[in-house]
Structure 1
Amino acid sequence: MPLRMHFTVEDLARTRIADRPAPCIELGTAARQLQERTHPVRLGAWRHRTLSALHPASRMAFALMPPRGRITDFLSGTNAATPAELIEQIRSTPRSRLRTSLEGTARHQPLPSWAHRLPEDPLLLRQLCDSLEHVADHALLPHWQEVQAMAAADAAVRSRQLLGGGVEAVLARINPRRVRWRAPVLEIAMASGLDADVNLGGQGLLLQPSVFGVEAPVVDFDAVPQPVLSYPVARLQEGAATPLFAALPSGDGPAVPAVDAVGSVLGHTRAAVLGTIARHPGCSTQQLAALVGIAKASASEHATTLRNAGLIVTHRDRRTTAHVATPTGIALLNAPSARP
């Protein structure tokens, strides 16, 4: 049986879509994915690179972010905007919250023996935070720009759904494999198998796109100012599974062309298309054509070429598209205009 969220008219009116990733959710789901072997096409290359770079101290982070079960609340219940801010918030967690959070987790699953000493041992908490920072440095930070771009593109897709069919249309399509809208109830198939009825009480819901939450939803009823439900970004719901973060720009590789030379490398119109997508992440092909001042067919052709070159990614939702520049595309645009 699923988790059932009961909506009122007030809940529907207050339900929102996040337009940026949540570091606490991305770190937690990334840590879980590193301990799994699922989704080898999408996550295999990222998983191999990350695990190869981690040192044994990362096990502390994994112990409190297991592949199954709860992630201890003080690691996930923050509103940090960046991974670095998330770690700093965890470092400054009050002892009372540490104690309450760990006691709550222990009621549902066993904790490592050292975890119970965290509220009374600042050095141990520092070691845990160093472990979390190490995982974030290798699993999240090299890809954070692309994670942000995918969240922005997803927000564009959901905004069009909202305009076309209201909040109910969004709820019906955020995660078809795990989430079903049966007005006025949202049914969620949790990985834990949780079977419960929850009334949102007029708070509404924050719908949070996630890149590393490939499938299983994350629900946080204690989040402020309203409960949170994560779902896979639109790109992960497309038919064909494609690798995430397959090609990262390398500082050791050959220099990319200077900004002034991008037009001569790509062609001036194609360079304008790439620059427009970078400035307007999530734009549709029709919007792209209008912004650049070219025909829609031409915009589509240029976008296809840029996508094949790995400079943009395109997310599709039925008949609409959302284009986003990749880190490689952004690096190309941001290259210095002259070199010694």
Structure 2
Amino acid sequence: MRSLQSRSHPVRFDAWRRAACGSLDPRARMVLDLIPPEGWAPTFLTSASAGGPQELLEQVRATPQSRIRRDLAHAAERQAFPPWARRLADDSGLLRQLCDSLDHVHAVLLAPHWAHVTSEAAADRGIRTRQALTGGVERLLASLHPRRIRWNPPVLEFAMVSGFDGDLYLEGRGLLLVPSVFGAGSPAIDVDAEPQPVMRYPVGHDQPAGSLPFCASPALPAPPGTRSPLALLLGRTRAAVLHTIAEHPGCSTKELATFTSLASPSASEHATTLRGAGLISTIRHHNTALHSPTALGLALLNTPTAGPSPVG
């Protein structure tokens, strides 16, 4: 919602904004009123819990009245809300309308692009795992967004675009890191989240900007052995390379060669071809190329078809 209302990062988001604004109907107004382009929003709307969209929506529906009152009062100290918001905790019908608004907003803004979101998040997870393995948690934290997040052991220092800054003392609670495709500008932190603080940080903030692809529908990699149009078209070896990248998003060329029993130059050549066809994306982390599937690559892998086994 914040990215929709902002004019920042036009290359990445303007096509998405135009399409979204043309598809939203008046039901979106309630969410727009509670989540402004800048400032504060009630935290019961921004859960970082695990679960699918409908599960998280049910969590909002089940929010205790006391929590709604507390979150609204806390946010209202810094942000003006419409008069109807004061009745939200005591009016179940109004809360249902808000949840319908959330459902509509999700269907328009997120659902069509979910395959791309999960693909970018998977690639980011590969990078963060690599950082943790090679340099420990210290290196991971120091690399999230160096201009706005600084790890000064044992304190995590942060400065948000909103002007909110400070020091975070975890005191054994841990920190939940949430990569965000739409939060392209800067990180955001919820220090009061339970059971642990939440840090949302932009995916690919240090990569060249690109427009947000439009995806038809989410897709998952097909199981090994599935005959797909891609395998029939490209042959067994290249299809196996794509399938391996889908199973190990964020893998390096060396890891790809190991997983597929190919020589590194051969694995690199196949990855280059798949990238040229728009089936994988590659980002560079220092001197390492990290490969992840695109929504198109996943969709092709997930479309079985009858026919003879491919010849590689």
Q: TM-score, normalised by structure 2?
A: 0.89
Query: How many Å separate the matches in 2 of 1:186 and 1:98?
Result: 29
Instruction: Find the partner of 1:248 among 175, 191, 215.
Output: 215
Post-superposition shift, 1:195?
A: 3.9
1:42 aligns with 2:9: no
Pairing partner for 1:262 from 213, 230, 235: 230
Counterpart in the other structure of 1:20: none
Equivalent residue, structure 2, for 1:237: 206
Tell me which amino acid in the other structure corresponds to 2:44.
F
Aligned to 1:317: 285
* Counterpart secondary structure, 2:49: coil
- Cα distance between partner residues in 2 of 1:206 and 1:79: 10
Secondary structure in 1 aligned to 2:284? strand
**For 1:170-181, what aligned pairs fall within 5 Å after superposition?**
170-181=140-151
Code of the aligned partner of 2:215:
L
> Which runs of 5 or more structure 1 residues have no equivalent in the other structure?
1-30, 252-257
Residue equivalent to 1:103: 73
What TM-score comes out, normalization by structure 1 length?
A: 0.82
The 8 Å contact of residues 281 and 324 in structure 1, kept in 2 or not, is answered as yes
Verify the 8 A CA contact 1:78 1:89 in the aligned structure 2. no
Question: Which structure's relative contact order is higher, taking Cα pairs within 8 Å and 6+ residues apart?
Answer: 1
Distance 1:227 1:316 in 2: 30
What is the aligned length? 300
- Alignment partner, residue 116 of structure 1: 86
**Unpaired stretches in structure 2, ≥5 consecutive residues:** 219-225, 308-312
- Indicate which of 78, 88, 93 corresponds to 2:58: 88
Residues 86 and 337 (structure 1 numbering): CA distance in 2 closer, same or farther, change over 3 Å? same
Whole-angstrom distance in 1 between the partners of 2:84 and 2:264: 60
Look up the match of 2:138: 168
C-alpha distance in 1 between matches for 2:18 and 2:99: 23
CA-based RMSD = 2.0
Which residue, out of 203, 207, 211, partners 2:173? 203
User: What code does the residue aligned with 2:246 have?
Assistant: A
Q: Offset of 1:315 from its aligned partner?
A: 2.6
Q: Which amino acid aligns with 1:334?
A: N
Counterpart of 1:188?
A: 158
Stretch of structure 1 that moved more, 59-68 or 260-269? 260-269
In 1, the alpha carbon distance for the partners of 2:174 and 2:257 equals: 36
**Percent identity between the aligned chains?**
53
